[in-house]
Amino acid sequence: MGTDLQMEEVDCPVCEASKGDPLYQEGSFQMVRCPSCQFVFLNPRPTTESLLSFYQDYLPEGESSIESWGKMMKSVFHRAATLLGQYRKDGRLLDVGTGFGFFLTEMKNKGWEVAGVEICRKAIDYARDVLGLTVHPGPAEKLGFPDNYFDAVTGFYVIEHLPHPMAFLRECYRILKPGGLLLLRYPHTTPIKNVLHLFGIRNRLYDLPAHLSDFSPKMIQQCLEKIGFRKCQHLIGGYTRPGDPGKRAASILFGSVSEAVFFLSRKKLLLPGVSKTVLAYKG
Ligand SMILES: [Zn+2]
């Protein structure tokens, strides 16, 4: 992987002030940290065109592996559906990076009017032909949805893949109705990298070059508030169940411990280094 990727050097995708200082190397890829805003991002990184072809093979192929992808995400999707249900009973929802469309199906069954955005062709075909969903070929910023159009926008494990995360967040803000809800799910890997580095344990946890950045909860909240979102709230929001038994055990263990700590601390303590769900409302 990565041999046919065209790479380019970029400025910090959040503040544009620097090309970043080296942080961690994974194979031939390098994560850097912006000295100005502390954002952690891949630099150099694949060009946007290379990424488009890279993602055609990113999601699994074949009926059984599509199904196991659904199983892996099930608890996360279910928790998010519950959160949306607490926000409102139904409404118009856009899911960005919708994959095969399992989350949209769950929301559609709850009475929401749903649409998805996706760049992987085989995922679009599956969501449309097998699940009967409306899915637009992305990226979301190019689709020209009307202002103030959606009651909710969701993105599961999407923002870390985007070359222009700020443009994406601004677009989410524009297309949401006033008071509309943004729900994002993202990994936060740097704290785990730091611990493993202390013990000299080699790893490729950043998942490069697929992940272009590593948002911390603090950074994502700053970005959201800068754009105008309000009432940002972080949650653990469940955990994935990967097919590989070792990864699944780790995910369940760290996910459960994080949930317990979060609950026992009265929603104050979020363990670093596990995936998070963030909610924010259009101001
Ligand atoms: Zn920066």
Dist. CA 227 → ligand 1 center (Å):
16
Dist. CA 209 → ligand 1 center (Å):
19
Dist. CA 30 → ligand 1 center (Å):
16
Dist. CA 278 → ligand 1 center (Å):
21
Rounded to the nearest angstrom, the gap between the alpha carbon of residue 157 and the centroid of all alpha carbons in its chain is: 2
* Chain position carrying tokens 């954002």: 39
Contact 277, 83 (CB under 8 A): yes
pLDDT at res. 148: 98
Dist. CA 104 → ligand 1 center (Å):
34
Type of residue found at 57: D
Dist. CA 46 → ligand 1 center (Å):
19
> Residue 273: pLDDT band by 50, 70, 90 thresholds?
low
Neighbours of 29 (CB within 10 A): 21
Contact 241, 248 (CB under 8 A): yes
> Residue 238: pLDDT band by 50, 70, 90 thresholds?
confident
Contact 112, 92 (CB under 8 A): yes
Dist. CA 38 → ligand 1 center (Å):
6
> Residue 25: pLDDT band by 50, 70, 90 thresholds?
very high
pLDDT at 236 over 80: no
Dist. CA 215 → ligand 1 center (Å):
12
Dist. CA 43 → ligand 1 center (Å):
12
Dist. CA 39 → ligand 1 center (Å):
5
Dist. CA 80 → ligand 1 center (Å):
30
**Cis amide linkage into residue 209, ω under 30° from 0:** yes
Rounded percentage of the chain residues whose pLDDT exceeds 90: 65
Dist. CA 28 → ligand 1 center (Å):
22
Type of residue found at 160: E
Dist. CA 202 → ligand 1 center (Å):
27
pLDDT tens-digit readout, 165-205:
999 999 999 999 999 999 999 999 998 889 889 999 888 88
Dist. CA 196 → ligand 1 center (Å):
25
* Chain position carrying tokens 């344990």: 201
Q: Higher pLDDT residue, 247 or 212?
A: 212
pLDDT tens-digit readout, 179-190:
999 999 999 999
Cα separation of 162 and 254, whole Å?
Answer: 26
Dist. CA 207 → ligand 1 center (Å):
21
Q: Is the dihedral of CA 149, 235, 211, 157 positive or negative?
A: negative
Helix/strand/coil for 116: strand
Helix/strand/coil for 195: helix
Dist. CA 41 → ligand 1 center (Å):
9
Dist. CA 164 → ligand 1 center (Å):
13
Dist. CA 222 → ligand 1 center (Å):
12
pLDDT at 2 over 60: no
Neighbours of 250 (CB within 10 A): 13
Neighbours of 21 (CB within 10 A): 10
Mean pLDDT of 66-76: 87
Phi-psi region of 76 (alpha: psi -120 to 50; beta: other; left: phi over 0): alpha
Mean pLDDT of 225-240: 88
Q: Which of 160, 173, 116 is nearest to 139 (CA)?
A: 116
Dist. CA 226 → ligand 1 center (Å):
14
Dist. CA 256 → ligand 1 center (Å):
33
Cα separation of 77 and 73, whole Å?
Answer: 6
Dist. CA 106 → ligand 1 center (Å):
37
